[in-house]
Structure 1
Amino acid sequence: MKYLIVFILLISQLTVAQQSLDELLSQYNTRSIPYISVEGLRALQMNDDIVILDTREPSEFSVSKIEGAVHVGFNDFSSDTIPEEIADPNTPIVVYCSLGIRSEEIGEKLKKAGFTNVQNLYGGIFEWKNKGYPLLNEQLQPTDSVHTFSKSWSKWLKAGIPVFEKNSN
């Protein structure tokens, strides 16, 4: 009986954590760009035709990235930053940022530019790392570090090493 109670408590904590991420994303996102799970992206990574776009800032991208990701940024994003190799507007594109908030906005801009197959990585690079998937640093070596922007946003990273500016909250 004691094990059953412990199991139920663990499951309820996982459910609350997932609901919290759902609530956070609902607060900021409109779901105008469909989500793809980290498991779904991992499966698609085996397909050479997919394009993964990192919509974080250069300081974040320099700490770690998902393998194969192309940096397009957020603040300076424009149609000029869309990689030239995406000639076909039906090319599968997955956008990501830290949690999936900024990437939705970039996904909307891609749709306006005529791209029809854009998905937003649910939970972003944080969820990718939380699920145990690999990241690469600037030297393309495996890393556990993830730029979390600030201490307060670090709570969403459950696995890995949070990196942020010392003077940020």
Structure 2
Amino acid sequence: MRSLTFNLLKFFIGLIFPGVHQIKTKEFAQWLLDSAPQPLILDARNQAEYEVSHLKAAIHIDPIAPDLAALSKVAKDTPIVVYCSIGYRSAKLVQQLDEAGFSGVFNLSGGIFQWANEGKPIFKHDQHPTHFVHPYNPMWGKLLRASYHAQEHQS
């Protein structure tokens, strides 16, 4: 059921943001292993979500009011991968980055939920591996395996 729901959500995100380039978790994981230039990784979740866990080397950016001026020193052709919980907030930010003139910007399809569900590494404070992810809310958290749910006292 989780897989079907994820596939439907990815389909709808693609309809809402048709110009946004998606990258699958498998492709992104391989990219991170390659010696090719590493992408700038942006976490488009709220601060509380980011503090529970994030992808290694990810930089937090506010999904509601992103400070694109903070990226003014980033070359417009720098590869960028943006993620959130499932891909909606990050797709919106990818669209904004595209409109700001950045090229090579990708939305991580399925977000950190799919990344974690596949057993890929997540971190707290970059150097500390963890197995917990902020579930965003009770409804969307159903897309995250229960064993990965961070409890209130852990965040």
TM-score of the superposed pair, with normalisation by structure 2? 0.86
CA apart distance, 1:48: 4.0
- What percent of counterpart residues are identical? 32
Q: CA RMSD in A?
A: 2.1
* Structure 1 counterpart SS, 2:133: strand
2:25 matched residue in structure 1:
38
Kindly report which structure 2 residues correspond to 1:142-161, keeping only aligned pairs within 5 A, or say none. Answer: 142-158=129-145, 160-161=147-148
Determine if contact 2:2/2:143 at 8 Å carries over to the other structure.
no
Question: Counterpart of 1:111 in structure 2: which amino acid?
Answer: D
Question: Counterpart of 1:103 in structure 2: which amino acid?
Answer: S
Structure 1 residues 137, 18: CA separation in 2 closer, same or farther (over 3 Å shift)? Answer: same
Kindly report which structure 2 residues correspond to 1:13-162, keeping only aligned pairs within 5 A, or say none. Answer: 16-28=1-13, 29-46=16-33, 47-82=36-71, 84=73, 86-87=74-75, 89-138=76-125, 140-158=127-145, 160-162=147-149
Determine if contact 2:23/2:108 at 8 Å carries over to the other structure.
yes
Is the deviation greater in 21-30 or in 114-123?
21-30
Consecutive unaligned residues of structure 1, counting only runs of 5 or more, are: 1-15
Structure 1 residues 25, 102: CA separation in 2 closer, same or farther (over 3 Å shift)? Answer: same
TM-score of the superposed pair, with normalisation by structure 1? 0.79
Question: Counterpart of 1:73 in structure 2: which amino acid?
Answer: D
CA apart distance, 1:153: 1.3
Greater Rg by CA: 1
CA apart distance, 1:26: 3.0
Deviations 1:89-115 (A, max 9, x none): 122111100000100000011001101
Question: Counterpart of 2:142 in structure 1: which amino acid?
Answer: K
CA distance in 1, matches of 2:141, 2:25: 19
CA distance in 2, matches of 1:159, 1:38: 20
Is the deviation greater in 25-34 or in 137-146?
25-34
Is the deviation greater in 150-159 or in 16-25?
16-25
Question: Counterpart of 2:5 in structure 1: which amino acid?
Answer: S
Determine if contact 2:134/2:150 at 8 Å carries over to the other structure.
yes
CA apart distance, 1:164: 6.0
Aligned length: 149
